[in-house]
Structure 1
Amino acid sequence: MVAIAIEGLTKRYRDRRVVDGLGFTVEEGSLVGFLGPNGAGKTTTLRMLLGLVRPTSGQALVYGRPYRDLPDPARVIGAVIETMTAHPRRTARRHLRMLGLRIGVGPRRVDTVLELVGLTGAADRRAGGFSLGMRQRLALAGALLGDPGVLVLDEPANGLDPEGIHWLRGFLRAQAAEGRTVLVSSHQLAEVEHTVDQVVIVARGRLVAAGSLDALRARASGRLHVRSPQAERLAGLMTAAGATVRMTGHDRLEGPLGWSEYVGLLSAEHRIPLFELREDAPGLEEVFFRLTGAGGLGEAP
């Protein structure tokens, strides 16, 4: 089932298009990274999804409905678009109880989300003394109050130390494993690569690529490298099986990503010795720069 659908979404500010006919879907229960360079339109897209910005054209849907038409939105979708600003003299627990009153959530759920984000020990501390990382956790707790099926998070790792980032990675994976849909915007490409299953990459307000990390790596020209004294024979067997193979030396060949296991089975079946079998798969950062030509990441206006 599609949890989030972005359909022909466009946002124009005077003569400038921040989002330009953008379209993609996020399946229920998936963990998706939303990536793009400075001015790509990521934050504007998320704001339109949450009903905070009106699209010039197109639509952003949650389970087939615009946010404004959701009967109980806090129980469907939770979001962290900017670090939540609690009153500095209010404790974390009191802040969440005030939010809970708005959506009909009681103290028990407040205690549950405090534990989920690791703030139980700081629940009665005033928010004004929180670090940036603790404020991020508090914002995440607020997004979880209604026990929503969809989470939309903008830069949730900002301000977290390495331990906090490790915790966040496991937390997001656990949310997806429980069936939640998680769409996370981030500029920390190396961290995203170890967290998400799918990515959506945008540039200049348009979709550049969407899909699994493996598929995008293959699209970015990663290759399988094989060295064998019977390389030509192995190349023939691979070609017969449908692979596009190129000889790069008398004992070396290159093939497509994803064939390493099959090549290993071929070599065993036909008694072909292998001296080298490795996949030169580009990392997410390399894929990103190849697809966007960007020199950095940041947020859209």
Structure 2
Amino acid sequence: MSTLTEKLRPVRAAAPRPPKLPTVHTRKSAGDWVILVVAILIGFFIAVPFLMILINSFKSPADYNSSGPLTLPTNLYFDGIVNFWTRVNFPEKLWNSILISTVVAVAAVGISMFNAFAIGIGRVRGRTWIVVLVLLANMVPQEALLYPLYYMFKQVGLYDNVWAVIIIFTVIQSAFGTYLLASVYGTFPKELLEAASLDGASRWQILWRVVYPISRPTLSVLLIFFFIWTWNEFLIPLTFLVSNANQTVPVAISVLQGDRLMDVTTTSASALLGLLPTLIFFLIFQRTLTRGITAGAVK
């Protein structure tokens, strides 16, 4: 009986195996090898200054004078880093740079998003001229802004205050962010906006529940760039932050070099300490930056 049942049981057909695709071995052409060699050379020349700073930061002045800047140190020398750390009160300067760069990056991204939403999606009148005006304002050199800004912040009592630099850089960075995001939001799919409007969403809800989640990769890229650009700024912080307690890291490095004539190893140590925070910040958000740049079509 069991044998008959087994014979009558329908036989389940085996799933066909997908055919194996032939492996294609692509050979690199001469042009590919040339591009690879050029990329390696460019990366090498970019890395050489950082390697020289790293090597000379741990050399003693005597070791530097005897062997030059291109050889490895015979013994690790930490006095250059310690001397710079104590001379400029580096934690204080580091906090000033972090505070200014963080506030500027967050505020500039927020203002840029609101402006671009009004121009690119809100369809305000004369939006083309507004974008052109913002672009022209972004192209004005900083040297032309020094005297008017100096006079204005002197009158309002914000001279030699970190908030003066924060306000200036927030306006400058948001001008570029507005120009970039307005172009992005101008091509935003109308179907999503119309569907949200039919569901009863207000302008504020459309911004935060539709536009912001989709454009978050682009906003992340702007945030990273604004932070690094503001950190590396020198002229405006040098002009508006004259007291020692308010100076940023780049200003502290330059002022100390001109005032006390540091040796080469201490100068290299100061450059290394000024470079490490932005390098660490970039490495932490490298994946976010890559995703934001490669983000393409709307999902």
The TM tier, using the shorter chain, reads under 0.3
TM-score w.r.t. length of structure 2:
0.21
More strand per residue: 1 or 2?
1
Task: Determine which structure has greater relative contact order: mean sequence separation of CA pairs < 8 Å that are 6+ residues apart, divided by chain length.
Answer: 2
TM-score w.r.t. length of structure 1: 0.20
- Higher share of residues assigned helix: 2
The higher radius of gyration belongs to 2
